[in-house]
Structure 1
Amino acid sequence: MSNQNLNNKIAIPYAEALLSFAKEKDLIGEITQDLSSISVVLSESKDLQNFFFNPLVSNLLKRDTIKQLFKNQVNDFILNFLLILVDRRRISSLSIIIDKYLQLVYELKSISIAELSSAIDLNDLQQETLVQQIKLLTKTNEVKLLVNKNPDLIGGFIIKIGSKIIDASLLGKLNRISLYLSAS
């Protein structure tokens, strides 16, 4: 079993427990915000990631660091949750746990996540039109659009929604023409 599959298997029960608690206490918004903030902190600091993921660093030191960083910054339940992850030597799975939790929340709230790669920056009107079309396509109430610019596409865009990919880029069209011509 690959390390990624193992981390996913570890993350799912923790994410489900977080969601269950959040629903029970009616704290989905607050816990989602806290976990998103923690995710941003981790993604912006490679040193912090390396510190938490290093098995040679003592759990006591990791616990003290978590308390210093997040005490009075996040819900007490989330702080205790982080400390439990340290105690159970699962803190290295934190990013995956947060991702799984967010996926579960988005499913619960009928939110789709769409990744847009375009050759140029789209204006607000173009993005809103695209969001409305994605809502119709996915039959969801809300769409979270993650936009990134990729000049290699030459023109057009690529949208990823879950496992679906819509390639309306010039590069994609050129590749399809190339495949067609080489097969002939």
Structure 2
Amino acid sequence: MSINGSLAKAASPYAEALFDSSHFMQIIEKTSQDLKFISDTISKSLILEKFLSNPLVVPKDKKKVLENLFNNQISPHVFNFLFILVERRRIILLNAIIESYLNLVYALELTTVAHIYSAVVLTEIQKKALEKKLQFMTNSKEIKLMVNIKPELISGFVVKIGSKVIDMSLSGQLSQIASYLNIAPL
């Protein structure tokens, strides 16, 4: 099992517990917003990420920093959840927990997450057309595009939804031709 797979497996029970309690309290959307805010805030500081993931830093100090950062910025429910993660020395799983939680929310809302790898930046018109086509293909209520730029694709794009991959890139087509002709890929 990969490291990411191990993290996801360890994070899953925490995400499910947070999701269940948020669902019970009818604050799923507020919790999602808080988690996105926390993720954005922490990802902007490498020092903060290292501080929170350092096992040598005592939980009391981590709590104090989190309190200074997020007090009155997030709901008490999410704030308490962060403290539980610190106390149990699971704060290192925070990004995986957030990702897992958001996937549960998307499943509840019939939202499909599509990872798009494009050679160039997509325009809003292209994104909307792609969303509409993927929505039809997947029978989803909503499509959430996660766009990443990969110039090595030469042109075109690759769509990844779960384990399904649709490769519409020039480099993918060249690889298929090379495979068909039994020559080494370019």
Superposition TM-score tier, normalisation by shorter sequence: over 0.9
Match of 1:27 in 2: 27
Q: Which SS does the other structure have where 2:181 is aligned?
A: helix
Q: Which SS does the other structure have where 2:168 is aligned?
A: strand
Identity fraction in percent: 43
TM-score by length of 1: 0.94
Match of 1:59 in 2: 59
Match of 2:38 in 1: 38
Residue-by-residue CA offset, 1:36-62 (whole Å, 9 max, x unaligned): 111112222211111011011111100
Match of 1:116 in 2: 116
The structure 1 segments of at least 4 consecutive aligned residues displaced by more than 3 Å after TM superposition are: 1-6
Which piece of structure 1 moves more, 147-156 or 82-91?
Answer: 147-156
Q: Distance in 2 between matches of 1:5 and 1:124?
A: 33
> Shift in Å at residue 148 of structure 1?
2.2
Q: Which SS does the other structure have where 1:73 is aligned?
A: coil
> Shift in Å at residue 168 of structure 1?
0.5
The one-letter amino acid of 1:114's match is: A
Match of 1:7 in 2: 7
1:50-89 mapped onto 2 (5 Å cutoff): 50-89=50-89
Residues 1:5 and 1:126: Cα distance change in structure 2 (over 3 Å):
closer
Which piece of structure 1 moves more, 144-153 or 11-20?
Answer: 144-153
RMSD: 1.4
Residue-by-residue CA offset, 1:94-121 (whole Å, 9 max, x unaligned): 1111111001000010001111122222
Q: Distance in 2 between matches of 1:25 and 1:2?
A: 35
Which piece of structure 1 moves more, 81-90 or 35-44?
Answer: 35-44
1:90-109 mapped onto 2 (5 Å cutoff): 90-109=90-109
Q: Distance in 1 between matches of 2:4 and 2:154?
A: 33
Residues 1:128 and 1:82: Cα distance change in structure 2 (over 3 Å):
same
Residues 1:156 and 1:4: Cα distance change in structure 2 (over 3 Å):
closer
> Shift in Å at residue 17 of structure 1?
1.0
Q: Distance in 1 between matches of 2:139 and 2:130?
A: 14
Residue-by-residue CA offset, 1:112-154 (whole Å, 9 max, x unaligned): 1111122222222221111011001111100111122222111
The one-letter amino acid of 1:163's match is: S
Q: Distance in 1 between matches of 2:121 and 2:64?
A: 43
Residue-by-residue CA offset, 1:8-35 (whole Å, 9 max, x unaligned): 2321111111111111111111000000
1:134-153 mapped onto 2 (5 Å cutoff): 134-153=134-153
Residues 1:99 and 1:175: Cα distance change in structure 2 (over 3 Å):
same
Q: Distance in 2 between matches of 1:7 and 1:148?
A: 23
